[in-house]
A and B are shown apart, each in its own frame.
Chain A
Amino acid sequence: MALIRLAYLMLGDRPSAEDVVQEAFCGLYRRWDRLRDAASADSYLRSSVLNGSRSVLRHRSARRTGVPDQPPAASAEAVVVGSEERQDVIRAVRRLPHRQREVLVLRFYCDMPDEQIAREMGIGESTVRSAAYRAVEALGRILEETS
């Protein structure tokens, strides 16, 4: 479920998230004999989910159609606990460029240190830091505009 949640945060809809996670498991299954050890399966799956999510996002950008990047309608419970503000933040996160969105999800949802984020994304640590900085700044601007 943690992987589906990760893909869901990246993609914004559950069916796509499930597809990406299932692809990741199929990939793991096909490459099982090439894994260094079973413990590396978690890391492999997370990377596969992130790669798959990037791929879906790229296709969506290219098509400019498909599943709208909007959070689903809030549940009654979510409304009761005053999640309007949260939905604003989520909507703003989904307006960010893919890389910035991914950095935010890995840093604030997965609690990964910058070094690990850099490894997962295949970019430098300084790029992670600057992407995170720009993302937070852009989020602040978007939230200000929409408030």
Chain B
Amino acid sequence: MTPLEDRIRQALRGEAGDMPPGTAPPLRLPARRRRFFSLAYGGGERQGAPTGSRWGRLAPAAAAVVVVAVIAGSLAASHIIHASNQPQAVAAADQAAANETAAWIEAQVSRSASISCDPVMCRVLAVHGIPARELNVLKSGAGNPLGSQIVVATTAVRQEFGDRLSSVYAPGILATFGSGTTRIDIRIVAQDGPAAYRSALRADLRNRKKSGAGLAGSNRIGASAAARTQLRTGQVDARVMIDLALLASLRPVSVVAFVDSGPGAGPGVPLRAMELAVPSHAALRQMLTFFGEQRPPYRRARPGVIRLRDGHRVLRVEFAAPSPMGLFK
């Protein structure tokens, strides 16, 4: 080793060794997981962490501009072709609803779920990072949503399929954005037909009620009266209940709430997330280890320690949409 190389070695080791043996960095959500719909959005930044450049801070706005540009371009083309006289205000509302819908899908829907959408909406979803291979583009007069797990029901899709959309193809609603003519529903596709879907939903609800009643009566699970009612009435996703039961077999658990972030979700859609009290750092580590060891479909979709409005920290365990049926068979 040359004297210069030795100098480099000494300098690097000295520099690294000068770092005080501080505590482990506090847990927080990775930056890319802080989505618009995350309760942790904007919270939990480490003190002293770089705040990023002006361009870094403007990146979300820039992305929004790209989305708006795509939609505006598509709408403009559509107007030229169809000689539509849609007022500009309606177009802006369309853009806002499409943007909200795409952000929700990106944050909440399983990456393996295939999605049917009209050409404009599919482009917006692609801008939000949904892989093209998962998108089934519904062109006018051709195809249907069957074969996909989810259909994004924009005005164009509703006009294309009419009543058949809710009665035949996609009876369940996961979330709704916008209102009136700009309303966009995210619907669950009944791949085996509406009768089979409703029958499976009824059977699943029965099983969820039965299992939920067992959990609500467990002395190892602490929960508010509201949460116990949600368990007993079968409102909680089967994956959440299975993970809760397994965790409770290891350590006493306190459920703060069962929640779902699907605005306007249909009555039969289960709650896909639970918020668990975090009594200590050791308990948090034990719970994180437990959830990390779960295999799909019981593996939680998104890790997250969040701080509630009252200042308490909770571990939010959230599963992707749509909820699978028949896990309790």
Binding site for B on A (CB under 8 A): 1, 4-6, 8-9, 13-16, 18-19, 21-23, 26, 29-30, 32-33, 59, 63, 65-67, 71, 75, 78, 83, 85-86, 89-90, 93, 104-105, 108-109, 136, 139-140, 143
Is B46 part of the binding interface, using a Cβ–Cβ cutoff of 8 Å? yes
Of all chain B residues, the one with the shortest Cβ separation from A19 is B49
Which residues from chain A contact B46 at a C-beta distance below 8 Å?
Answer: 15, 18-19
On whether the beta carbons of B4 and A33 are closer than 8 Å, the reply is no
Q: What CA separation (Å) do A8 and B21 show in the bound complex?
A: 13
On whether the beta carbons of B15 and A71 are closer than 8 Å, the reply is yes
Is B50 part of the binding interface, using a Cβ–Cβ cutoff of 8 Å? yes
Q: What CA separation (Å) do A21 and B8 show in the bound complex?
A: 24
Q: What CA separation (Å) do A140 and B21 show in the bound complex?
A: 31
Stretch in contact with the other chain, from B51-59, B95-103, B142-150? B51-59
Of all chain A residues, the one with the shortest Cβ separation from B47 is A15
Interface readout for B5-34 with A: 1 if CB under 8 Å, 0 if not? 101111111111111010001011011000
Which residues from chain A contact B49 at a C-beta distance below 8 Å?
Answer: 15-16, 18-19
Nearest CB of chain B from residue A46's CB, rounded to whole Å: 14
Q: Which of B14, B25, B299 contacts A86 (CB 8 A)?
A: B14
Of all chain A residues, the one with the shortest Cβ separation from B300 is A30
Q: What CA separation (Å) do A85 and B8 show in the bound complex?
A: 10
Q: What CA separation (Å) do A64 and B53 show in the bound complex?
A: 9
Which residues from chain B contact A85 at a C-beta distance below 8 Å?
Answer: 7, 11
Known: A65-B53, A66-B56, A136-B5. A93 touches B303 (CB 8 A): no
| Given A32-B293, A33-B299, A136-B8: 18 more A-B contacts, CB < 8 Å | A4-B25, A8-B15, A9-B16, A14-B48, A15-B49, A18-B46, A23-B30, A26-B30, A29-B292, A78-B18, A83-B18, A90-B15, A93-B11, A109-B9, A109-B12, A136-B2, A136-B4, A139-B4
Known: A32-B292, A66-B50, A66-B52. A14 touches B9 (CB 8 A): no
Sorted nearest first, the 7 A-B pairs with minimum C-beta distance are A89-B11, A5-B16, A15-B49, A18-B25, A65-B53, A108-B9, A109-B12
Q: Which of A18, A29, A33, A75 contacts B18 (CB 8 A)?
A: A75
Q: Which of A30, A59, A75, A104 contacts B8 (CB 8 A)?
A: A104
Nearest CB of chain A from residue B28's CB, rounded to whole Å: 7
Which residues from chain A contact B13 at a C-beta distance below 8 Å?
Answer: 109
Is B295 part of the binding interface, using a Cβ–Cβ cutoff of 8 Å? yes
Which residues from chain A contact B39 at a C-beta distance below 8 Å?
Answer: none
What are 7 A-B pairs at a CB distance below 8 A? A8-B19, A15-B48, A16-B50, A18-B25, A63-B53, A83-B14, A83-B18
Q: What CA separation (Å) do A30 and B111 show in the bound complex?
A: 14
On whether the beta carbons of B303 and A29 are closer than 8 Å, the reply is yes
On whether the beta carbons of A108 and B25 are closer than 8 Å, the reply is no
Which residues from chain A contact B293 at a C-beta distance below 8 Å?
Answer: 32-33
Q: What CA separation (Å) do A29 and B53 show in the bound complex?
A: 29
Q: What CA separation (Å) do A52 and B17 show in the bound complex?
A: 21
Is B256 part of the binding interface, using a Cβ–Cβ cutoff of 8 Å? no
Is B288 part of the binding interface, using a Cβ–Cβ cutoff of 8 Å? yes
Q: Which of A9, A15, A18, A65 contacts B15 (CB 8 A)?
A: A9
Q: What CA separation (Å) do A75 and B303 show in the bound complex?
A: 37
Q: Which of B16, B30, B50, B54 contacts A15 (CB 8 A)?
A: B50
Q: Which residues 40-97 of B have a CB within 8 angstroms of A?
A: 46, 48-50, 52-56
Nearest CB of chain B from residue A99's CB, rounded to whole Å: 16
Q: Which residues 232-266 of B have a CB within 8 angstroms of A?
A: none
Q: What CA separation (Å) do A13 and B46 show in the bound complex?
A: 13
Of all chain A residues, the one with the shortest Cβ separation from B15 is A90
On whether the beta carbons of B8 and A5 are closer than 8 Å, the reply is no
Which residues from chain B contact A66 at a C-beta distance below 8 Å?
Answer: 50, 52-53, 56
Q: Which of B8, B30, B52, B303 contacts A108 (CB 8 A)?
A: B8
Of all chain B residues, the one with the shortest Cβ separation from A14 is B19
Of all chain B residues, the one with the shortest Cβ separation from A2 is B16
Which residues from chain B contact A59 at a C-beta distance below 8 Å?
Answer: 56
On whether the beta carbons of B14 and A22 are closer than 8 Å, the reply is no
